[in-house]
Amino acid sequence: MRNPMNPRQVSKICLSPEVIDCIVFWTKNPEPMILELDQLSSYHYYFQFTLTGYGKDIEPCVPHKKEKMLSTFQKLSQAIGGQKVIWRYDPILFTELYTPDYHLKAFEQIAAALEGYTYRCVISFVDTYTKNKKTLHQLHAYDLKELELFHFAKTLADIAKSKGMTVGSCAEAVDLSPYGIEHNCCIDQKLIEEICGYQLKGRKDKNQRPECGCMESVDIGAYDTCKNGCLYCYANHSQERVNRYSMLCDPDSPLLCGVLEAGDTVRERK
């Protein structure tokens, strides 16, 4: 994978099952993988599956939730077990259309459909970055006042609990534990140890935000490669760049997009 800050620096990452403890997948649509899961039989893994109440105005290229994604979530859970499919309802942004009441109604509907298929939900509130600042401004996105936020969080937690789920927050500075929402670890050492069946000598990932509780890991993703086009996205610079990078995808290349070039410096990542 290329260093996003210095593309000429390339890390070579060994994917041998002998050195991989666990793979964590982030996705809004794992359907293409479900029939290929046997290729992962040598690995431990779990999925972070984002499923929200937004429409095409916010998530234009995500397949229809009720017609497609709820059943996809259920199929994945049936294939690998509910412990290994974490539901993410995030990021939560508030607008004139997507009010707290809207989110609570959507959350309850999705939670009802996922009851028994997952036991953990992760939430976060939208963060403003350079890449999405203009879009969030155009959407007139706003933050809740403190008491409104606490009431919203408690209601989410109560809904989830009624469906057999716990709720954790992702990289949020605000403490929502009095309202039933704990700080979450997406690269979760405890969960990975349960899945693997052995203990890990892990530390908190020092390269993440202070609020992030994830254990250290190696990220093999790449910016500007997701075609979902979500308006809150901070991983893509532009749709034009996504289109251009996608055309460089070569299934036979060791890189997600593009190929190794003269002048690249390749170092093996420990």
**For the chain, domain boundaries:** 2-221
Mean local confidence (pLDDT), 6-15: 94
For residue 216, the model assigns a pLDDT of 92
How much is the pTM?
A: 0.93
Residue 171 above 90 pLDDT?
no
Edge-to-edge strands of the sheet including 166-169? 23-27, 45-50, 85-92, 120-125, 166-169, 181-183
pLDDT in tens, 114-148: 999 999 999 999 988 888 899 899 999 999 999 99
Q: Where does residue 67 rank: exposed (0-12), middle (13-18), buried (19+ CB within 10 A)?
A: exposed
Q: Is 10 helix (H, G, I), strand (E, B) or coil?
A: strand
For residue 74, the model assigns a pLDDT of 98
Report the topology of domain 2-221.
TIM Barrel (3.20.20)
CB atoms under 10 Å from CB of 155, counted, come to 18
Q: What is the average pLDDT value for the chain, to the nearest integer? A: 93
pLDDT in tens, 180-237: 999 888 999 999 999 999 999 988 888 777 778 889 999 998 899 999 999 999 888 8
pLDDT in tens, 59-92: 999 999 999 999 999 999 999 999 999 999 999 9
pLDDT in tens, 253-270: 999 888 999 999 999 998
